[in-house]
Amino acid sequence: MSKENPQHNPQQRAKIEQMKKAWAQKRAVSENLDSIANKIGVYSGKGGVGKTTVTINLASALADQGAKVGVLDVDIDCPNVVKVMNVTERPLHGEANRIIPPEKFGVKVMSMGFFQQNEDEAIIMRGPMIHNAINQLLQLTEWGDLDYLFVDLPPGTSDSPLTVMQSMTLDGFVVVTTPQDLANLDAKRSINMIRKLKLDVLGVIENFSGGVFGSGGGANLAKQLEVMFLGDISLRAEYQDISKPTVLKNDSIMDEYKVALDKTKQALNLLKEK
């Protein structure tokens, strides 16, 4: 008996259709983000290391220098960028169901947080729904011309960050850690995930540096994994006030982020020269 032609195998056909759909989605995302010069993922293996705070301060520091900047919050179930950026405007609806992001402190912002009825609401979604929500944000947001888009990823190494990494082409990742050994272990896992997907790590930032948490873990991790150390962000009381990005209130904090940004740009340039 001859083997069944794979073209007539329902499982094979379903797999081919799924591949076609994924390819079409990635192409649509790529075309939508084509006018953005640099797309940077901000990522961590563990929640609570200050990834969102780092994201919005990097973006705000660049905007303060005159760059055109956006922040995309793809942490679908726990979105925090709207709260931390203190954005009160809602996105506008453009033609062909396009979503026009509001702007605050010179930074365009898009987040699932805009679509909650109240910020205390729990967003409960299974994997496929999260995948679809991420792809809609990527395909429908009208960013215009940007110099930099920072993508605030969900923590961990499972479905949500994987969807982002496979759905859009990022120029590189800034990995956020804290000085503690456990945070560095999780950061190492996230760097290994990035590399397994054959993507690029721009470097490591150590957040909450100094004081009770100590320092040096991020620099040691960067040295161990042979990536650039982008700098220390000190633990300071000023971060308790989230009325505006902290870099816009404190020159010493701005200086720390300028160091991180200079090294991030250096890492981007090195990758583009390859």
Q: 60-117: per-residue pLDDT in tens?
A: 999 999 999 999 999 988 899 999 999 999 999 988 889 999 999 999 999 999 988 7
Residue 4 placed within a domain: no
pTM (two decimals): 0.91
pLDDT of residue 7: 57
Q: Which residues in the chain land under pLDDT 70? A: 1-8
| CATH number for the domain that contains residue 112 | 3.40.50.300
CA distance 61 to 38: 16
Residue 79 placed within a domain: yes
Q: Which range of residues forms the domain containing residue 121?
A: 35-272
Q: Is 205 helix (H, G, I), strand (E, B) or coil?
A: strand
Residue 14 placed within a domain: no
Residue 89 placed within a domain: yes
Residue 257 placed within a domain: yes
pLDDT of residue 2: 46
92-93 and 99-100 as β-strands: parallel, antiparallel, unpaired? antiparallel
Residue 166 placed within a domain: yes
**Selection from 119, 98, 102 nearest residue 110 by Cα:** 102
Residues 6+ apart with CB under 8 A from 70: 36, 59, 101, 107, 108, 109, 110, 143, 146, 148, 149, 150
pLDDT of residue 198: 95
Residue 25 placed within a domain: no
- Split into its structural domains, the chain has a count of 1
Residue 12 placed within a domain: no
pLDDT of residue 121: 74
